[in-house]
Structure 1
Amino acid sequence: MAAGRGRPLAAVAVTVLLSLGASGPGLLRGSVAAHPGALRPAAVRAGEVHRLVTYVFVYEDLISLTCGAVVIWYFAGSFEKNVGTVKHCFFTIVFAILTGLLYLLLEAVVSRVSEVEDAKGFMPIAFATLESVASKLDRMFPFSVLKRIPGLKYIPGSSAERRASESSKKKTEDDVPEDGKQS
């Protein structure tokens, strides 16, 4: 059975639902500051490593939850369409962990100078998925001009264009004899 056009993407829908489920109770109580899913350095040091993933589903107010849902739907949806549902889920977890570890590293340095809030929300992960949205920029100015400049190696954003570029480069190399002279 073919997927319907109007049907939501699986990983994106699950991400939005997890965000609603993780943030909803705190929003109803009016307090997300003490949310059990937020990324806190002390909690991770105490062995609560699940927070390296759960923090992406936590929002502190209805406006940030709504903005997060829109960003998830648009950017993560585009990413899921380009890489597939399984890779989207895998990369979401990897990006969440790497971003969380970076946050913990930077928090250790910055906390000595000023107070740092707990990490919450999907925004860093959504922006990590912009490799797929950015590939559409290949056809726009100034990138379209960069492709045409002799002497520069331009690497296209889409994997299909990169493969086509590599295969045409290989075909060109195969046409030149080993002595380097054209026949």
Structure 2
Amino acid sequence: MNLYSFAKSLIYVLLKPVYRFEVIGREHFPKEGGVLLCANHIDNLDPPVVGINAPRPVHFMAKAEVFSVPLLGKILPRVNAFPVKRGMSDREALRKGLAILNDGHVLGLFPEGTRSKTGELGKGLAGAGFFALRSESAIVPCAIIGPYKPFKRLKVVYGRPVDFTEIRRNKASADEATELIMAAIRKLIEEHK
């Protein structure tokens, strides 16, 4: 068993009794090929919660600062996380993300770039649109519907892949592509809250 599988099992065992996960739409997740998984961001636990409930291993971008935390900085790369410098165009992180998608893996993003202080869906950043337009990956929206309160139900909803045929053909901007993704996340939140 590799560290990712071990960590996924351990985190599931630790979190499942506290947050009663209700996972919806796992069947929409493509079984193979590159997948850009985009979720809303309401809590620090979002990455492990999305990761342990996804049917395939997920590679997450994480803010570069956490890689300098002792021990955590050593573990993160071994559980498929890689650093991104926030607030600037990090070409290395963009290249790494595209390589993950082009190699047929799952790249997990929180397009808002930071946690929502109110729990409401914020504006998405252009990075999600960049990855959606620069790859042929399936784009899977995901809604985390909380709140994160012990022994309360926490929903993780995976939507059907967003059809990007038209937007890619029309050479839309990264911002337009991100807005399409955010609209799909918003729709999932509204349908399942």
TM-score, normalised relative to structure 2: 0.33
Instruction: Give 1 or 2 for the bigger CA radius of gyration.
Output: 1
Decide which structure has greater strand share. Answer: 2
Higher helix fraction (1 or 2):
1
| Highest RCO, 1 vs 2 (Cα 8 Å, sep ≥ 6) | 2
